[in-house]
Structures are given as C-alpha cells and as structure tokens.
Structure 1
Amino acid sequence: MTKIDHTRALKIALCAILYLLAFGIMIASQNGALEGYGDGTVLAAVLTAAVTIVVITFLWIKALGIVGPQEEPVSQSTQKSRNVLLFAAIIGGVIGFGFALSGDLRDGGAALFSNNPIAPIAAIAFGALFVLASIWSSIRWHRAADEHERAAANSGAYAGMLAYVVLTPLWWLGARASLVPPQDPMIVFAIVLAVYAAVWTYQRGD
C-alpha cells in the first residue's frame, strides 16, 4: 500500500488556493476595467500585484519542492519553519478571500484593493485575526528557522525596506506634482511584500 505524504498533499492544496485567489483578483480587476470601475491606474496596479503574486507563488512553490521530484529528507527545524509559513499563507488566504467577499459585489470583487467602507465587525475580525496570526507565526518561525533560513529572511527584509524607502517618497513627490495618482498604502504594501518575498525565495534557493 502506497504511503500518502500528507505534507506534500497540503502544499499542493495551498498552491491551488493561492493561484485561484491570484487569478480571481486578476479577473476581478479586468472586469472592473471593462465596467468602468475605479481609476485605470489603480486597476493596473491591482492587476500588476496579482500577476506578481502568481510569479512569487510559483517561485516559492518551486523552492519548497511542491512540484517536480519528491524532495529529499529535511531537518526537523526546516520542516517546522515550513509548517509555520504554510499556516501563515493559509491565514492570509482566508483573510484575503473573506475581505474580498465583504465588499459590495458591484465593486467587481475588488474590495481587497478598494478604499470603500466595510462593516465595522468585518474590520475588527480581520484585524484581530491578522495581528494574532502575525505575532504567533513570527515567534514560531524564528524559533524553528535555522541560520540559512534567517539569513535569507534578513536579505529579503533589507530589500523590502530599501524598496519602501525609495518608493514612498518618490510616489509622494509625484503625487504632489500631479504626475501619478495619490499614494495608496496597500499598493505600497503589496510591492514591498513582493520584493521581500522574491529576494527571500532567491536566497533560500542558493
């Protein structure tokens, strides 16, 4: 009887969820553009962020060995850190999916990247879940990660911080000169996070 690798199966399921969410955001932004929803620049930024999520997810999946040959045995610390990252990704997906559903359906499903009002109970619930999950997963990950994993994360954090330091004032200056739309903190967050994840994934693969 063939033994089922439950961890590998869970990773594959997470892969499918992340891709579905990212493609859902892309479809929603395209529909919004066709229906005249929102500003064209914002919709383009949303679409770019969604495409970035797809690319980063693929690189992360490849680094974790979800696709391709069965991965070699890993240390207990590495497995623990992967489990924490998996938990954080699932919680993030749940929050993003729930947040998108909390918006008005007339918004084309783009509530996640919209500044439209949402119900106070939804804001409190998602905010509390995000804070608690972030604190718990960060503590658990730092306890489980080895030196190589921490060094990769530090490189990603430095690159993300550098992206924020450069992007924020440039966007602010451009907005004041009416060269670009007003700065959207969630778009800045998505770009910085994408840079962080890309560098982290690259360093982990070395």
Structure 2
Amino acid sequence: MMKPDLDDLPEELSDGAVLLRRALIGIGGGIVLIFLVGVIAGYASVVFEHGAPRLVDALIIGAMVLTGAALAYGMWRLWPRGVDGPIGPRVRSARKIFTTAVIASVVVGLVIGIAGGSESLFSNEPVSPGVAVLAIAVWIIIGPVFTWLWYQKIDEHEADAYRDGALVAVHAYIFITPAWWIANRAGWLPAPDTILVLLGVSLLWIIVWFRQRYL
C-alpha cells in the first residue's frame, strides 16, 4: 500500500485548532500591543514634560511604533481563516467598523496618555479638563455611535452572542455591586472601585460573547 502524499492532505486546520490559534493570537498579541501602547504613551509623556523631543527620542518612539505595527501585521497574517466560510457584505462591513473602532481607540488612548502625562484614566487621581473632555466624548458619543453602526451590520448569530454576553454582564453587575457595597459598609472590603467593576463586567461580557460566538 502506498503512503499518502503529504501534498494531497488537506491543509486546513480543524475547527478546534483554528479557535485555539485565534485565542492565542488574539489574547497574547492583544496583551503585548496594549503593553506596547502604554510604553509608547508613557515614554512620550515623559519626553514632552521635559520639553521638545530630541532626535534620539523620536527614533525610539518611531522604533516602538514600527514594532507595534509589525506585531499587528504579523497577527493579521497569522490569523486563521479556516472556519468562517463565505462572508456576506453586512458582516464584512461590520468587521470594518469594528476594526476602525479599535484603531480609533488606540489612537485616542495614545493621545490621552501623552496629553495626560502621569495621569491615568484607570486611577482615582485628578485629570486635566482637556483629558476629561476627550475621554467623556469617546465614552458617551463616539463609542455609542460605533457600537450602533456595528450592531446594525452584524448577523443574527453575532447579535445573539452579543446579547447573551450583555445579559450575563448586566446581571453580574446587579449582583456584585450591591454585595460589594454592603461588604464595604461592614468593613470587610475597601470602597467599591467603579473602574474595576467596569473592567470585570466587560471582561465577563467578552468571555460569554466569545463562547457563544465561536465555541
């Protein structure tokens, strides 16, 4: 019996392998990109606090930006595309809106990080009026607009996963927030941290959405 030619074997990965690779690339690469964006914003803020940037500073920032761009390109090139099947125009449009929103968020985050200097939106320290106006505009105007545009384009399966994640996240908020508040009044826990609750609820939303969407 002749051995099968390796060239004749299907090159497509199994659904499980595709999902695993997507999770590794998305989570791992995303964490590195977020860290890199934070480093760029922090370095740039320190540079601008000490006056005009020098040539070496510009080269360092440029190198970090190029590194981030190369990483993002590598993630895009390595992203498995084996289980999606044909993509309709509405889904393609939704993905473009989502990608645009992510890029805009990164840019705004960099601007806020550079303009805010040592201030952090994820702390309880005071922020300057300019940073506050920009952040508020993103959260109550730009964010909702992008979300509405994206939601109008997604398919039924995506919408169901999105709603399931929202349902679980809202109930988690309803249950956790008052429990934390009471525990604080009893002296068992520190005062509720609004941004920590927001991040936790958002993470839960993403986990449920990912499970319903891909698993």
TM-score normalised by L of structure 1: 0.63
Q: Name the counterpart of 1:180.
A: 189
List gaps (5 residues or longer) in structure 1: 1-11, 27-61
Q: Name the counterpart of 1:196.
A: 205
Q: Name the counterpart of 1:83.
A: 96
Q: Is the 8 A contact 1:172 1:183 kept in 2?
A: yes
Q: Name the counterpart of 2:112.
A: 99
Q: Name the counterpart of 1:58.
A: none
Q: Name the counterpart of 1:129.
A: 138
Counterparts of 1:1-206 in structure 2, within 5 Å, are: 16=29, 19-22=32-35, 67-68=79-80, 72-105=85-118, 111-206=120-215
Q: Name the counterpart of 2:66.
A: none
Q: Which amino acid in 2 is paired with 1:84?
A: I
In structure 2, what is the Cα distance between the partners aligned to 1:186 and 1:193? 10
In structure 1, what is the Cα distance between the partners aligned to 2:30 and 2:89? 26
| Residue 120 of structure 1, CA deviation | 0.3
| Residue 20 of structure 1, CA deviation | 2.3
Q: Is the 8 A contact 2:37 2:106 kept in 1?
A: no
| More off after superposition, 130-139 vs 177-186 | 130-139
- Percent of pairs with identical residues: 27
SS in 1 for 2:87: coil
SS in 1 for 2:187: coil
TM-score normalised by L of structure 2: 0.61
| Residue 185 of structure 1, CA deviation | 0.7
1:99-127 deviations in Å (ceiling 9; x for gaps): 3444453x7xxx13211111101111221
1:26-55 deviations in Å (ceiling 9; x for gaps): 9xxxxxxxxxxxxxxxxxxxxxxxxxxxxx
